[in-house]
A and B are shown apart, each in its own frame.
Chain A
Amino acid sequence: NAGVTQTPKFQVLKTGQSMTLQCAQDMNHEYMSWYRQDPGMGLRLIHYSVGAGITDQGEVPNGYNVSRSTTEDFPLRLLSAAPSQTSVYFCASSYYRDREENEQYFGPGTRLTVT
């Protein structure tokens, strides 16, 4: 198993540009999520999905869109990049709710800089 994979690893954008961060998992997990990690702030939930076709907002959703057309993939779209979106982005996946082993597995991260 490759686990959770993310591309790209690094990205530099100019203000106003758009891009998509890719995330894929091969563990057949129902639950997938996107976090951003900023110094002193901890990991904050952006969007999450409990299955294909179902998404919902987390704590900091503004400026980001998601969709979930398959179980495996959960891309994150930045609509119009702003310097405040400079951060490290992590994708995570897990089994959903009542399964005993519902710990989240994280990808390696995408380091995004918006100038």
Chain B
Amino acid sequence: EDQVTQSPEALRLQEGESSSLNCSYTVSGLRGLFWYRQDPGKGPEFLFTLYSAGEEKEKERLKATLTKKESFLHITAPKPEDSATYLCAVHTIWITDKLIFGTGTRLQVFP
């Protein structure tokens, strides 16, 4: 069965304290892996797409990496404005064309 698991569920960091969020997946017919940021009361906002193992992408304090079984979202020297829920989703084209989402990691960064 296709599955996406994110950990931890919640993470509290001090401003400047770097850390990583994990997304592990088991799917057939992987087309790509997506990271989204979601602020309270808003829709998910696209961050990155990764297509193959070994691929890395960066945006400001965020870097996403991909292996054959999992993806990491590394946050370097976070700021309070990085506080949000980070969602991982896998695009599969096995049988149907769909995104399978994890339940997210809720990140809080304190000054």
A positions within 8 Å CB-CB of B: 4, 31, 33, 35, 40-45, 48, 50, 56, 58-59, 90, 92, 96-97, 102-109
With both beta carbons as reference points, the residue of chain A lying nearest to B96 in the complex is identified as A56
Bound-state CA distance A92–B97 (Å) is: 14
Closest 5 CB pairs of A and B: A106-B43, A43-B101, A42-B103, A42-B101, A103-B46
Q: How large is the interface on B (under 10, 10 to 19, 20 to 34, 35 or more residues)?
A: 20 to 34
- On chain B, the residues within 8 Å of A90 by CB distance are 43-44
The majority secondary structure among interface residues of chain B is strand
Interchain nearest-CB distance for A33 vs B (Å) = 8
What are the residues of chain B within 8 A of A97 when measuring CB–CB? 31, 93, 97
> For the complex, is B98 an interface residue (Cβ under 8 Å from A)?
yes
User: A31 touching B97 by the CB < 8 A rule?
Assistant: yes
Instruction: Please list 24 pairs of residues, one from A and one from B, whose beta carbons are closer than 8 Å in the complex, sorted by A's number.
Output: A40-B103, A42-B87, A42-B101, A42-B102, A42-B103, A43-B87, A43-B99, A45-B98, A48-B98, A58-B98, A59-B98, A90-B43, A90-B44, A97-B93, A103-B34, A103-B49, A104-B46, A104-B99, A105-B46, A106-B36, A106-B43, A108-B43, A109-B41, A109-B43
* Interface of chain A, main secondary structure: strand
Residues of B within 8 A of A31 (CB): 97
Residues of A within 8 A of B4 (CB): 42
With a CB–CB cut-off of 8 A, which chain A residues contact B97?
A: 31, 48, 50, 96-97
Distance in angstroms between the alpha carbons of A108 and B31 in the assembled complex: 26
Shortest CB distance B63–A (Å) = 17
Determine the residue in chain A with the shortest Cβ distance to B88. A42
User: From A111, which residue of chain B is reached at the shortest CB distance?
Assistant: B41
**With the chains together, A41 CA to B42 CA distance in Å?**
17
Inter-chain CA distance A114–B42, complex, in Å, is 20
A113 CA to B32 CA, complexed, in Å: 34
Contacts of A44 in B (CB 8 A): 101
Give bound CA distance, A69 to B79, whole Å.
Answer: 45
Q: Does the CB pair A108–B102 fall under 8 Å? A: no
The distance from the CB of B91 to the nearest CB of chain A, in whole angstroms, is 7
Q: CA of A64 to CA of B92 in the docked complex: distance in angstroms?
A: 23
